[in-house]
Amino acid sequence: MAGSISATADRELVVTRVIDAPRRLVFRAWTQPEHIARWWGPQGFTTIHCDMDIRVGGTYRFGMRSPQGTEHWKRGVYREIVEPERIVFTFAWEDPDGHPGYELLTTVTFSEQGTKTRLTLHQAMFETTEGRDGHVTGWTSCLERFADYMLTMA
Amino acid sequence: MALDHLSRTFSALADPTRRAILARLISGETSVTELAEPFAMSLPAISKHLKVLERAGLIVRTREAQWRPCKLEARPLKGASDWLERYRIFWEQSLDRLEGYLKELQGKEKRRGRKH
């Protein structure tokens, strides 16, 4: 496993991972329900529902159960599907009443690296025009300083 | 932490001036005039930013003192940071499982004598 993670300056999450499998297989694992059901979610979680209409504008809804028995549902819309390079979709967890919460835009790109595949997952925390400007000075560093501050308070 | 609170936190943090104000407040209570100093901005403009931060619950303004100092409020930032961390864990663990699953899948394909 080779990978890294960073929370970039503007509330975005970037995860990269080099996976020892050919790109077409990795892409399939992200776009076919029978595959997704086998790996989606944290360790110990089981997929209890998985429907996906994999086309631009198509929706998906996944349900998973935690080891403690709590159900978690998420849904979204596919915005872009470029086989075998890229998938873009929205992502929102549902509250207990089934209403979708905060919506995120997730972009997953697959690039060939020899016989392996480099996967890059990019998740934008929100999409306001305001949020796109002037994010170079990091709110991350703000949070880090804040964490230090918390330590001094403890 | 409720999601609408998070939205407010993230919106408030989306502006570099507001982030700079928060960073400044880490070192302690500060007056509006002092906060305005490093920026080429009028006091009313700074006050607008402070209102956004106040609504997001990121700062509190004391009413007791005449100069109404601003104070950093820790909890919402902690919530935003925890929220990011939860997603980080979610994706890391999902990708761990994806790797394991693909390994298993490829093993099966090989055993069946198929080539990719």
pLDDT at A127: 43
For A9-103, list the strands marked E by DSSP: 12-19, 46-52, 59-65, 71-82, 86-93
Cβ distance of A150 and B98 shorter than 8 Å: no
Q: Are B19 and A137 in contact (CB under 8 A)?
A: yes
Q: Are B68 and B62 in contact (CB under 8 A)?
A: yes
DSSP 3-state of A10: coil
Q: For A101-118, what is the mean pLDDT?
A: 89
Q: What chain B residue is nearest to A142 in terms of C-alpha separation?
A: B23
**Count helices and strands in chain B by DSSP H and E runs:** 5, 2
pLDDT at A146: 46
| Contacting A residues, span 30-89, partner chain B, CB-CB under 8 Å | 35, 38-43
Distance (Å, whole) CA B15 – CA A142: 12
ipTM comes to: 0.73
Cβ distance of A131 and B10 shorter than 8 Å: yes
Half-sphere exposure of B43 (CA within 13 A, CB side): 4
Cβ distance of A20 and B99 shorter than 8 Å: yes
CATH code assigned to A2-153: 3.30.530.20
Q: Which of B95, B19, B52 is nearest to A119 (CA)?
A: B95
Q: Indicate whether B65 pLDDT > 80.
A: no
Hey, where are the domains in chain A? Answer: 2-153
For A39-92, how does the pLDDT look when each residue is reduced to its tens digit (9 = 90+)? 988 888 899 999 999 999 999 999 999 888 888 899 999 999 999 999 999 888
| Contacting B residues, span 17-76, partner chain A, CB-CB under 8 Å | 19-20, 22-23, 26, 72, 74
**Token pair in block for residue A27:** 């892409």
Q: Are A18 and A26 in contact (CB under 8 A)?
A: no
Residue A2 touches chain B, beta carbons under 8 Å: no
How much of chain B exceeds pLDDT 90, in percent? 22
Which residue segments constitute the domains of chain B, with CATH numbers given?
3-81 (1.10.10.10)
Cβ distance of A25 and B116 shorter than 8 Å: yes
Residue A125 touches chain B, beta carbons under 8 Å: yes
**Token pair in block for residue A68:** 């403690």
* CB nearest to A15's CB, from B26, B95, B106: B95
* Number of A–B residue contacts, CB under 8 Å: 128
Q: Are B62 and B71 in contact (CB under 8 A)?
A: yes
Chain B nearest CA to A26, separation (Å): 8
Give residue A128's pLDDT band: very low, low, confident or very high (50, 70, 90): very low
For B72-90, how does the pLDDT look when each residue is reduced to its tens digit (9 = 90+)? 888 887 777 777 777 888 8
pTM value surpassing 0.80: no
